Structure formats: C-alpha cells, structure tokens
Amino acid sequence: LRAAWVATVYNLDWPSRSTLTVAQQQAEAIRICEQAQALGLNALVVQVRPSADALYASSLEPWSAYLTGTSGKAPSPAYDPLSFWVDEAHKRGLLLHAWFNPYRVALPGTAAAMAPGHISKRRPDLVRT
C-alpha cells in the first residue's frame, strides 16, 4: 500500500477552506488525486467523518462545517463529496479508503456551533471531555 492521508479536520488538506464553492472543492480533490497518481501512490485515505459529522450524504450525522462553513449545511449545488472522491480516485487507478473518527464529537470550543442533529445536541449525556 502506497497511500497518502487526506485530512479534513481544521481544513488541513481538503477542502483547504470551508468557504470554497463546490467547483473549487472538486478541483482541489482532482488535484490531490492527480498528485497521488503522479507520485506513484495506489491509494488515498480521506477523512470523511472528522467530528461526529459527515463529508458525505448521511441520515445519521449532519454535514460537516469543514465542508460548508456551517454544521448541518449541505453543499450547494448538492453533491456527495465521498462519491466524488471515489469516482475521481478510481479514474486514476487509486483505491479510496474512507477514514472515520469514531469517537471525536467536537474539537475544543466548537460544540456550541454544531447542528441540532449533531450527537452533542441530541445526546449530550453521551459526550465526555
């Protein structure tokens, strides 16, 4: 396995800012896939659930604020970023692994801004510092 991690938390790798348009998000994803291919990698590990939220269409978790700037706000125009990543990676012969953070609910100071459907709002009794 020759892979690279693509972190979404804090907008570290992708998307580089939560204010990007869908077209800009997609262009960044394509650039990352092309760079991975040029480096001879065969896989990408993309963080799709950074803080009990989702960078994919989910009925269980709200959209990530790292994607749109607001927890619970879907990208517009609508698209499924994970599906987009899978398609673009596969076009370049790359495997795509979805990286889930199963335990982190929120980073310090961010829980108050989470969407009403976020676990920190629905079940605060389950959240521990």
94 pLDDT more than 80? yes
Q: If you average pLDDT over every residue of the chain, what do you get?
A: 93
Q: What proportion of the chain, given as a percentage, has pLDDT over 70?
A: 100
**Considering just the CA atoms, what is the radius of gyration of the chain in Å?**
15
Q: What is the pLDDT of residue 118?
A: 87
Residue 10 CB coordination number (10 Å): 10
40 pLDDT more than 90? yes
Give the whole-angstrom CA distance, residue 65 versus residue 73: 7
Q: Report the pLDDT averaged over residues 15-34.
A: 98
**Residue bearing the bigger pLDDT, 120 or 14:** 14
On the 0-12 / 13-18 / 19+ scale of CB atoms within 10 A, 1 is exposed
Q: Report the pLDDT averaged over residues 69-88.
A: 97
**Residue bearing the bigger pLDDT, 116 or 107:** 116
The whole model's pTM is what? 0.89
| Model confidence band, residue 14 (pLDDT cutoffs 50, 70, 90) | very high
Q: How far is CA 111 from the centre of its chain?
A: 17
Q: Report the pLDDT averaged over residues 47-74.
A: 95
Give the whole-angstrom CA distance, residue 53 versus residue 36: 26
Q: What is the pLDDT of residue 32?
A: 98
112 pLDDT more than 80? no
Q: What is the pLDDT of residue 35?
A: 98
90 pLDDT more than 90? yes
